[in-house]
Structure 1
Amino acid sequence: MIDVGALRALRAVAALGTLARAADELGFTASAVSQQIKRLERQVGVPVLAPAGRGVVLTPAGQAIVDSAPEVFQALERCVEAAQSVSDGAPRGILRVVAFSTAIRGLLAPTILRLSTRCPDLRVHITEQDPDQALHSVDAGTADLALVHDADGLPVPLPSSLTQRHMHTDVGDVVMNRTHPLARLDPPLAGADLAGHAWVTSPPGSVCHQWFRRLFADVPEDPDVRHLVDDFATQLSLVASGDVIALIPRLARPPLGEGLVSRPLRRQPKREVHAAWRRSANASPAIQAVLAELVCCARNPPTKSCE
């Protein structure tokens, strides 16, 4: 019988192209992954990988095994869910969650305390990952639940083995020192209001930088970008100086304190946040418990009760 760990290793190698990358994802050494692949080859009696430059490729036999792997993992997961469903159905064990950084701060972190109280036998392990990597991790079985956002209005492609649920719509506001001239204007602010002011923004290539550039789509002059900073807390420290303003997603925004204020925009930039998990794990009490708390958190500020 094929070893499940070896099957998972082959699937990771197929997706990532090298033993080293597969080992990093699975939490093993490259040598351990190599031994798992060799054990699989002994079990099936044929080679499943072939060298290709600095990486490896699947043999036809290896590809056939990988193509059949989702059915195997889904069947095993259904076995686990069946065992849980005949018990009291209480969430328990470890749930591995992967998410982008601002979702961790704005959605996951506020749920942890409530989950520890309501589900004392459930432990949530969180890893920061970008949406593409997060979906791959859930699809490959190295994570159980992902929080992802669309990329500039375009949904992240969802593997057929996964299902998803809308969790939250995140929007961006302009944050400024309370003494800044924009703070005296009546909201919402238009693109023309923002011209001529100095900015700190997220670096090019990020969703928030795309939001920023779109603010000036109808403004003839280029924006005055003084600083490129990826960390939003650092952006806010620069905004506090009074020299620059920033476009900050609400999920990423800590309490502003007395010195800073936020102003909404007439054309609010936004991104949709979804939770994704394997279809075969849909009945998981742990996943359903975390989803319920995430929905609660998305609908209510962390300082308010979700009852």
Structure 2
Amino acid sequence: MIDVAALRALRSVAALGTLARAADELGFTASAVSQQIKRLEREVGVPVLAPAGRGVVLTPAGQAVVDSAPEVFQALEHCAEAARSVADGAPRGTLRVVSFSTAVRGLLAPTVAELSARYPDLRLHISEQDPEQALHSVEAGTADLALIHDADGLPVALPPSMLQRHIHTDVGDVVHSRSHPLAAVERPLTGADLVGHAWVTSPPGTVCHQWFRRLFGNAPEDPDVRHLIDDFSTQLSLVASGDVIALIPRLARPPLREDLMSRVLRRAPKREIFAAWRRSAHASPAIQAVLRELGSVES
């Protein structure tokens, strides 16, 4: 019979390309992963990996094993969840959650205390991961639940083995000091209102920088970007100087000082946030409890 841990190791190696990366993901040494793969090869009777430069590639037999792996893991998880669901149905154990940073701050952190109070036998283990990596972790079985966002307005490409639920819409607002000239504008801000002001913004390659550039898509000249800062608390410190303004997602925004104002945009940038989990784990009382709690977080 094929060893489940060895099968999981092969799937990670196939996804990540090297024994070392798979070992990091699984929490083993590269030597331990190598031994698991060799054990799998003895069990199936044929090589499943071949060297390729500094990495490895699947043999045709290895690819066939990896292609069949999701059915094996789903069947095993169905068994476990069936056992839990016919018991008392109370969420218990450790639920491994992976999420991008602003969702940790704005969605997960506010739920932890309530979940602990309602379900004292449930423990959340939260790790920060970008959406693509988070989906891989859940699909590979190294995490149970992922919080992800759409890619610049494009729907999330979800593997067939996973389910998702929309849980939140994050919106970007402009923040400026109360002494800034924009404080005199008593309506939602437009793109025209923003022209000619100096900015602190997130670095290129981030979702917030994409939002920022879109605000000036039809502007006759490039915006005046004075600072590129990834940390939003630091951005707000610079905004408090009165020289610059910032575009900050609501989920990422710390409580504002009294000398700062948050302003709604007439055409505010948005991103949709989803929870994603394996189909085979859908009956998990722990997953369902966290989904219910996330659904109660105020926008």
TM-score (norm 2): 0.99
- Please show how residues 1-307 of structure 1 align to structure 2 within 5 Å: 1-297=1-297, 300=298
CA RMSD of aligned residues (A): 0.8
Range with bigger deviation, 151-160 or 65-74: 151-160
Runs of 4+ with >2 A deviation: none
- Quote the Cα distance in structure 1 between the aligned partners of 2:275 and 2:177: 35
Percent identity over the alignment is 82
- Quote the Cα distance in structure 2 between the aligned partners of 1:289 and 1:271: 24
C-alpha displacement of 1:199: 0.4
- Which letter maps to 2:185? L
- Quote the Cα distance in structure 2 between the aligned partners of 1:220 and 1:274: 36
- Quote the Cα distance in structure 1 between the aligned partners of 2:2 and 2:217: 57
1:77/1:281 contact within 8 Å kept: yes
Structure 2 runs not aligned, ≥5 long: none
- Quote the Cα distance in structure 2 between the aligned partners of 1:20 and 1:184: 57
- Quote the Cα distance in structure 2 between the aligned partners of 1:20 and 1:178: 52
C-alpha displacement of 1:88: 0.3
Aligned residue for 2:169, secondary structure, equals strand
- Quote the Cα distance in structure 1 between the aligned partners of 2:163 and 2:80: 18
C-alpha displacement of 1:155: 1.9
C-alpha displacement of 1:256: 0.3
C-alpha displacement of 1:27: 1.1
- Which letter maps to 1:78? H
Range with bigger deviation, 148-157 or 163-172: 148-157
- Quote the Cα distance in structure 2 between the aligned partners of 1:87 and 1:51: 47
C-alpha displacement of 1:221: 1.6
Report Cα offsets for 1:117-162 as digits up to 9, x if no partner: 0010000000000000000100111000000001110122111100
- Quote the Cα distance in structure 2 between the aligned partners of 1:140 and 1:184: 53
C-alpha displacement of 1:186: 1.6
- Which letter maps to 1:199? W
Figure out how many residues of one structure are paired with residues of the other and give that number: 299
- Quote the Cα distance in structure 2 between the aligned partners of 1:96 and 1:165: 17
Aligned residue for 2:147, secondary structure, equals strand
Aligned residue for 1:251, secondary structure, equals coil
C-alpha displacement of 1:187: 2.3
1:132/1:156 contact within 8 Å kept: no
Structure 1 runs not aligned, ≥5 long: 302-307
- Which letter maps to 1:165? R
Report Cα offsets for 1:168-187 as digits up to 9, x if no partner: 00000000111111111122
C-alpha displacement of 1:32: 1.0
Report Cα offsets for 1:72-91 as digits up to 9, x if no partner: 00001011111101110000
Aligned residue for 1:94, secondary structure, equals strand
1:131/1:156 contact within 8 Å kept: no
- Which letter maps to 2:102? T
